[in-house]
Amino acid sequence: MTTQQKVNRLKTIEGHIRGIQRMVEEDAYCIDIIKQVIAIQRALDAFNSLVLEEHLQGCVTTAIRSDDAVERERVIKELLQVFETGARL
């Protein structure tokens, strides 16, 4: 996925967030707002998965194939921290 495609996805998500803001301002039905928030959360999760996949296929693969043991350990620790952070949320 190109940088522009990523930016476009984020702009779409941003537009949906503005839509929720309008719904709140217009005192829309709470369940409708919740459904929209869930949809945005799913879109962000999908975006995050794409970024992670690129990171795994690029940076992580390069580091793991490297002869530099410190770099390999750093990348593994970094991934574990990301998953631990996600698990706490």
pLDDT digits (tens, 9 = 90+) for 10-29: 999 999 999 999 999 999 99
pLDDT 10s digits, 56-74 = 999 899 998 989 999 999 9
Domain boundaries, the chain: 3-88
The CATH classification of domain 3-88, taken from the options 3.40.50.1010, 1.20.58.1000, 1.10.1200.10, 3.40.50.2300: 1.20.58.1000
29 backbone φψ class: left, alpha, beta (φ>0; ψ -120 to 50)? beta
Q: Is the pLDDT of residue 75 over 80?
A: yes
**φ, ψ (nearest 5 deg) of residue 2:** -75, 165
- pTM listed for this prediction: 0.81
- The DSSP line for 18-45 is HHHHHHHHTT--HHHHHHHHHHHHHHHH
CB–CB of 9/43 below 8 Å?
A: yes
- Given this model, what pLDDT does residue 80 score? 92
Spatial separation of the C-alpha atoms in residues 15 and 21, rounded to whole Å? 10
